[in-house]
Chain A
């Protein structure tokens, strides 16, 4: 005799369902949480992931991974490496920590919801370990960011950002809260593990790890690649859930995936887009945001859709067109409203950088060049007050991002920024795009939360000027953003 192999006993770990008789099944698994809908209750018995991990294997592997990450952190964290890294990279690190560390904890809440309300025992057990993963991701990122606090108080926002009403954070919460803790577990599995994690964060983390290594931030690279190995495992929960839902309610599956892909793409355009095409130092850029999205996100997502027999989303052409537009508009906006950020965004429009952009985005000079030229002229004439906003931009009622998307008029071919309004009840709502308007219309009972600009207009932010707005967002003078290069980039235009 000897120890049993895992496959000799693991079936019994998931052999734990029973038929409750003392309370109703509908009370144990309320449908708004369990989300079975049109799927017959017993169909969930077929739920299975292809790569299973047992509890003993989990703690053994994870212990080793943690030892690896913390050893590098101890060796490099307090060294003189980080202060010498390019400012653009530090900006990416700050934006990343603030936008991601506590979102991982939201991910934990989602995993725990699946761990409690998933209708298959195998699913609940997988999610129980998924919840631990998300605690890990919160904790390891906080530990690394905490080490950098002495370097710059902006790293405080790794912890603080999601406790504030900064507009970037409100936009992220509006998308992620609805996708994760606002959803039943079936939709959640399609939205978080299948679309967001498999479609976006996995690939973003791979790219980010490579970029970090490139610029010499080994600590960050090591942390992020270690996190990514967990994501790949627990993101498996999407596939089996989607398969079962598709069999019984394909329209619902299509809607959840389409909606989440769109909203995730919007959010990524606001943060990852500027990071790749403007913050990353020119000499370290390997791929434009557009090329990255086309190769990794679009290609992979289309393959996933085809694998499961899903249709291409109804907005596909609009999304592809947005790859040339969204993140450039959002970068211009975030730079202009830089006081509202917890990082210092480089403008990224030196002559060499503009040449790089124009080569990859043929319309860039026509659409964005003139706007940056005005800013450059103002910087060089020392009219700095004109390079700052006097109030907030109008924000989309669905994605909560500024309405800054250029689109081409079908009549005269001109590119212009426009809003897509909708009258409903006694209000007029404004959207950045038709898909955001469509999503709002379909799910309007879930939205119905005011944008930051609507709060300003309603008098919730006092005084109603930019100083009041910045204070309301929780930004202190030593944290609020300013140009990442102290405006030196503008000198060559004199």
Chain B
């Protein structure tokens, strides 16, 4: 050998070298970490290109109608890393714990009127299942997205929905203890499966779960169904709760709406990015929005009727 070659002094990953600026911590730990998307691959996975898994990635990810020359240019507006995520959510959980503690001592649940309890049983505690369905959709997009920048946003969104289910579960148990005959915890599944108020939403979510193209799943859930359902189940239900004197539900839903707002931020940014990358994506997204909007509208109509009754009772 003729002596060691001169070593470069790298400032960042060679994969980020073209950035023209110092990358952020978020970029250093998020950039292009999904190697199944590497350039020059013959298939996503180092196994038979026609194995089921490789065909699935090929069909529902690599050949999605939603295409961009460079998905790795997308950035989460909140720039969430794992460290930032657990810090942020631990702070929010501290807020939630404070609320739960404060209101349990004040005997809040015992004072809730019977009519309002029925609304809570239908729209609040029975919402664990639609929240879980949404969690599954986010988990799917996270594993199928064409960039780790997108996958991480979706994985955090899935965890946010687990957070929501957890808050709802906690309240379900408290309400069940305070009012054992209303069906909190015991009739939640039946309400979700059979109550007319939930059926269009259940249909939309079940159908979204089998929309296996990653782009369609993202558009259906993140751009159409979830914003619609969150508006009713977080914002409108929360405001109605406040008007009915149920401050605890109002405050908890307002807190959960912070997660929803974050999801809307990155979802909107991703849609904008996709269109900026390739103009035809606007048509692709519009077509999917048109397919899913009637289902979201039907879901909204049935749920809003319950809220309307609650507001006037």
By a beta-carbon cutoff of 8 Å, the part of chain A in contact with chain B is 1-4, 8-10, 12-13, 15-23, 27-28, 32, 54-56, 58-60, 62-63, 66, 70, 102, 105-106, 108-109, 112-113, 115-116, 121, 124-125, 128-129, 131-132, 135-136, 138-140, 142-143, 146, 149-150, 152-153, 155-156, 159-160, 162-165, 170, 173-174, 177-178, 181-183, 384, 445-449, 477-478, 482, 486
- CB-CB contacts below 8 Å: B145-199 with A: 148, 151-152, 155-156, 158-159, 162-163, 165-166, 168-170, 172-174, 185, 188-189, 192-193
Q: Is the CB of B210 within 8 A of A23?
A: yes
CB distance from B44 to the nearest CB of A (A): 8
A478-B38 in contact (CB<8A): no
Name the segment of B80-88, B115-123, B261-269 touching the other chain.
B80-88
Question: Inter-chain contact count A-B, CB under 8 Å?
Answer: 254
The 29 sampled A-B contact pairs (Cβ below 8 Å) are A3-B97, A3-B100, A12-B168, A13-B162, A16-B132, A18-B129, A18-B192, A21-B206, A59-B89, A60-B90, A63-B90, A108-B155, A112-B140, A112-B142, A115-B158, A116-B140, A125-B165, A128-B135, A131-B142, A131-B158, A132-B86, A139-B82, A140-B29, A149-B12, A153-B9, A160-B15, A177-B46, A447-B47, A449-B48
Contacts from B to A (Cβ < 8 Å):
1, 4-15, 25, 28-36, 38-40, 42-54, 81-83, 85-87, 89-90, 93, 96-97, 100-101, 104-105, 107, 128-129, 131-132, 135-136, 139-140, 142-143, 148, 151-152, 155-156, 158-159, 162-163, 165-166, 168-170, 172-174, 185, 188-189, 192-193, 202-203, 206-207, 209-210
Of A108, A116, A162, A447, the most chain B CB neighbours within 10 A belong to: A116
- Taking a contact as CB atoms closer than 8 A, the residue among B5, B162, B210 that contacts A125 in the complex is B162
Report yes or no: A23 in contact with B90, Cβ–Cβ below 8 A. Answer: no
The secondary structure that dominates the A interface is helix
Given A105-B35, A181-B36: A132 touches B82 (CB 8 Å cut-off): yes
Assess whether B28 is in contact with A177, with CB atoms less than 8 Å apart.
no
Chain A min CB distance to B29 (Å): 4
Q: Which residues of B contact A162 (CB under 8 A)?
A: 35, 38
Assembly CA distance A177 to B44 (angstroms): 9
* Residue of chain B at shortest CB distance from A142: B29
- Do B81 and A139 touch (CB < 8 A)? yes
Which of B4, B162, B189 is the most central at the interface, judged by chain A CB atoms within 10 Å of its CB? Answer: B162
Contact check, B4 vs A482: say whether CB atoms are below 8 A apart.
Answer: yes
A129 touches B11 (CB 8 A): no
Q: Which residue of A lies closest to B169 (CB)?
A: A12
Q: CA–CA, A125 to B128, complex, Å?
A: 13
Determine the residue in chain B with the shortest Cβ distance to A60.
B90
| Residue pair B162, A143 in contact (C-beta under 8 Å) | no
Report the separation of the CA atoms of residues A59 and B158 in the bound assembly, to the nearest whole angstrom.
14
Which A residue's beta carbon lies closest to that of B89? A59
Query: Closest Cβ of chain B: how far from A106's Cβ, in Å?
Result: 7
B159 touches which of A2, A55, A140, A150 (Cβ 8 Å): A55
Residues of B within 8 A of A447 (CB): 47-48
Q: In whole angstroms, what is the CA distance A102 to B38 when docked? A: 12
Q: Is the CB of B202 within 8 A of A22?
A: yes
Q: State the Cβ distance, B120 to closest chain A Cβ, in Å.
A: 15
Chain A residues in 8 Å Cβ range of B148: 105
- Which residues does chain A contribute within 8 Å of B166, judged by CB atoms? 13, 54-56
Residues on the A chain within 8 Å of B105, using CB = 1-2
Q: How far is the CB of B158 from chain A (nearest CB, A)?
A: 5
Partner of A178, one of B8, B34, B38, B45: B45
Q: Which residue of A lies closest to B54 (CB)?
A: A182
Give 9 closest A-B pairs by Cβ, nearest first. Answer: A173-B46, A12-B169, A162-B35, A448-B48, A139-B29, A177-B45, A112-B143, A1-B104, A9-B173
